[in-house]
Structure 1
Amino acid sequence: MKMWIIAKKEINDFFSTWLGYTIITIFLTTTTLFTWILDTQFNMLNAGFADLNAFFSLCPIIFIFLLPAICIKSFSNEFKSETIEILFSKPIRNNEIIIGKFIGCFIISFFNIIPTLIYFFGIYSLKDEVALIDIGSTITSYFGLLLLSCSFISISIFSSILTNNQIVSFISSVFICFFLFFINEFADFISDPKIYDVINYIGIKEHYFSLNQGIISAKDISYFFALNYLFIHLSIIYLNKIKK
């Protein structure tokens, strides 16, 4: 119950200012422009077949910047305004604070994703002109997008707890998200197959696009859960250190 109170506060704080609505508007405007209007590699109408692969390829790039922007105030603002002391004075455990903020940020990101279902119905309406849309693959792709959101959120919350400077928090979040997502690109320069496999496994990209292909494997699911657990646990440890 206490976690839900924290989550609700996080959501209310986000939508209490113009910034929250601006972030959502920017996300939807950007995805619409790149996937429907502009003549880019992400334009779904240029693909020649009915799927949302271009949209799901674009989302990680946007989320690397969008989700840190959503989570930027999670703790940085609490430290700067010293409202963190109010949280510490209440009968609530640090893990409940972290998980509550995580849930709140996830719900906000979910609000961003839900309107994009209109893209699915838009593509589905074209099914007579192009190949039939793969509904199963679309479902697993949205599932992968939610897992990706969780990962970037847990990373961003951890970055937010390290500093009271929102700009530093944002930049560090973007850097970590970018690095973990695109680290697979460096694997191509590795000749040792064992190191190659390790780097590929560490990177988010391979696991995310595996789900985009309609494949739900224990390896990918366990990876995302482990990654989220790692950064949430690190956040709890650091918050415990601050409280002492």
Structure 2
Amino acid sequence: MFAVLNKEITGFFTSAVAYIAIGVFLLVTGLLLWVFPDSSILEYGYASLDSFFSITPYVFMFLIPAVTMRSFAEEKKEGTFELLATSPLTDWQIIAGKFFACVTIVLASLVPTLIWYLSVYQLGVTTGNIDSGATIGSYIGLFLLGSAFVSIGVFASSITRNQIVSFIIAVFLCFFAFSGFDSVSQLLSFQSVDVFITALGINEHYQSVSRGVLDTRDLVYFISFILLFLVATKTVLGGRRW
């Protein structure tokens, strides 16, 4: 696994992929957070990063598929996956290596935004007038959300040789997993079914973690969601016939 992980991370950072992805993420979220009046903290008037945490999931819907689309699609298209498949590595080691490499990019994107937390911490009328507990919870929620989107992206990349097709499939699945269940639940009038369907979506659990309280049910949900798509990826790759 570590051989694949090292290869993927090296590939990301020796090319423009990682720098473009992180740069675009910081630029878009920075503009939305500090410049555009509808979402600007300066216009909001409160020492809070709520707008950042509500915007980022939608940025991730496009950023993460753009990072993961090359995971398997590029290798299958160029014929290099045969070399990887015939190596002593198991399917799970290959999948885990690629998954954690993409998660590393997600983490590398989030770390620089801590500067914004420090800025808001200092800019308040009273220094430190920000809910640090909720902010930490929201960062954990974003990391879990990003990891879930990575698992979707890796799966999408495993079912096609075309990176653009992989990107489109991943964007659709990420959007549906985050917002689709909420939309479906609104169409149903039975409250018990409504609550159940909403609980299937990522947004419900992301909002729960973002409150600053780590509920084991939310952690189990995210871990199960990630494993579901990684198992699906393993199923697709199981035949190793390309």
Given that residues 49 and 131 in structure 1 are in contact (C-alpha distance below 8 angstroms), is that contact kept between their aligned partners in structure 2?
Answer: no
Separation in 2, partners of 1:208, 1:185: 16
1:140 aligned onto 2:137: yes
Structure 1 unaligned blocks of 5 or more = none
Separation in 2, partners of 1:17, 1:217: 39
* Residue aligning to 2:116: 119
Q: Offset of 1:6 from its aligned partner?
A: 0.7
1:204 aligned onto 2:205: no
Separation in 2, partners of 1:198, 1:141: 23
* Residue aligning to 1:232: 230
1:105 aligned onto 2:102: yes
Q: Offset of 1:211 from its aligned partner?
A: 1.2
1:214 aligned onto 2:212: yes
Moved more, 122-131 or 191-200: 122-131
Equivalent AA in structure 2 for residue 192 of structure 1: F
Residue of 2, 8, 11 corresponding to 1:10 = 8
Q: Offset of 1:20 from its aligned partner?
A: 2.7
Moved more, 193-202 or 172-181: 193-202
Equivalent AA in structure 2 for residue 206 of structure 1: E
Separation in 1, partners of 2:97, 2:29: 29
Q: Normalised by the size of structure 1, how large is the TM-score?
A: 0.95
Separation in 2, partners of 1:92, 1:131: 49
Task: For 1:20-99, list aligned pairs within 5 A.
Answer: 20-40=18-38, 42-99=39-96
Q: Offset of 1:218 from its aligned partner?
A: 1.6
Structure 2 unaligned blocks of 5 or more = none
Separation in 2, partners of 1:82, 1:182: 36
How many residues are treated as equivalent by the alignment? Answer: 241
1:54-74 deviation digits (Å, cap 9, x = unpaired): 100010000000000011110
Separation in 1, partners of 2:140, 2:21: 22
Equivalent AA in structure 2 for residue 127 of structure 1: G
Given that residues 88 and 243 in structure 1 are in contact (C-alpha distance below 8 angstroms), is that contact kept between their aligned partners in structure 2?
Answer: no
1:194 aligned onto 2:192: yes
Separation in 2, partners of 1:125, 1:59: 22
Given that residues 50 and 132 in structure 1 are in contact (C-alpha distance below 8 angstroms), is that contact kept between their aligned partners in structure 2?
Answer: yes
Q: Normalised by the size of structure 2, how large is the TM-score?
A: 0.95
* Residue aligning to 1:153: 150
1:101-141 deviation digits (Å, cap 9, x = unpaired): 10110011111111110110010011335881011111111
* Residue aligning to 2:171: 174
Separation in 1, partners of 2:143, 2:128: 26
* Structure 2 counterpart SS, 1:125: helix
